[in-house]
Amino acid sequence: MTNATLHPDRQITTPGDQEQHHEENARFRFGPYEEFLKKYLEQEYRFCFFPEINQPKNQIALRHDIDFDTQFALQSAQIESKLGIKATYFFLMRSNFYNLFSPQDLHNVLAIRDLGHHISIHFDPTVYEDFHEGLKWEAALFRQVFRQEVSIISLHRPNTFFQEFDSPIFDIEHTYQAKYFRDIKYFADSTGVWRFGHPFDSQEFLQQHSLHVLIHPVWWMLDGVSNTDKLRTFYSQKVQSLKTDFSNNCIPFRSIHESL
């Protein structure tokens, strides 16, 4: 006997409705980050750097594109390191949100590398008229600053051209090459939403297929139910830190600090 026949007046929730509701919740299912990572370990995944991905099963390439803040990146790197997990962190060299040459950002990036993670370039091709020249220039700068080779990059907000661009650029691999993007299942939390579904709901995860998972630490290190809640918090933190920077570097600003 079904629920509906027992309670004929009760509003009936169909399995379809439940599924839709579940999917809506899954889109915003984030944090705590440590619990999220532990699930992969329980499912017997091994965390790998990109060039190590060579098995159809049990491997995961954990990727971080750092669009906003190196402090959140360091926080996620510390949580991973505590669990013995390695990840690849990609940083923008031409960002309006952080500056790899500032003392704090540089310290954070070096600390992430010291924890055993890989670091490289999150490349924004739209900054350049000729993206080949742009990448050549950024790679040279990166080598000089961090004293290491650039073997793989990720692209910032790639258009279809780049998503379908399968070759390395100047012998530098990128994360949208088919072997990382199509041959293994890809999940991303871009914009603070699991657009391609939550990894744990997928058959690939349940069957331990190798995965490429893109995590933006900003969506995991801030409190809030939705992506816009988190952005509100982040925005007010940025305003406060901008005020502090003004006051620390500009004496006349101190007289207006409180009134702003």
In the complex, which residues of this chain contact Zn ion (CB under 5 A)? 65, 67, 156
Q: To which H or E segment does residue 228 belong?
A: helix 227-249
Which class for 254: exposed (0-12), middle (13-18), buried (19 or more C-beta within 10 A)? Answer: exposed
Q: Where are the beta strands (DSSP E) in 67-210?
A: 88-91, 118-123, 152-155, 173-174, 185-188
In the bound state with Zn ion, the residue whose beta carbon lies nearer, of 91 and 205, is 91
Residues in Cβ contact with 70 at an 8 Å cutoff, skipping those fewer than 6 apart: 91, 98, 104, 105, 108, 109, 112
Residue 152 vs 209, nearer CB to Zn ion = 152
Minimum CB separation from Zn ion for residue 65, in Å?
Answer: 4
Q: Round to whole Å and give the CA distance between 120 and 149.
A: 9
What is the number of the residue whose Cβ is closest to Zn ion?
156
Number of Cβ atoms within 10 Å of the Cβ of 204: 15
Residue 132 CB, shortest distance to Zn ion, in Å, is: 20
Question: Shortest Cβ distance from residue 54 to Zn ion (Å)?
Answer: 26
Q: Which two structure tokens, joined as six digits, stand for 209?
A: 């297929």
Residue 118 bridge partners (DSSP): 88
Tell the smallest beta-carbon distance from residue 130 to Zn ion (Å).
20
**What is the closest distance, in whole angstroms, from the C-beta atom of residue 62 to Zn ion in the complex?**
16
Burial of 242-253, coded b for 16+ CB within 10 Å and e otherwise, reads eeeeeeeeeeee
Helices first, then strands: H and E counts in the chain: 11, 8
Q: Smaller CB distance to Zn ion: residue 156 or 198?
A: 156
Smaller CB distance to Zn ion: residue 64 or 185? 64
CB of 66 to Zn ion, least distance (A): 8
Nearer to Zn ion, 67 or 80 (CB): 67
> In this complex, which beta carbon is closest to Zn ion, that of residue 59 or of residue 120?
120
User: What are the tokens at 218?
Assistant: 């900003």
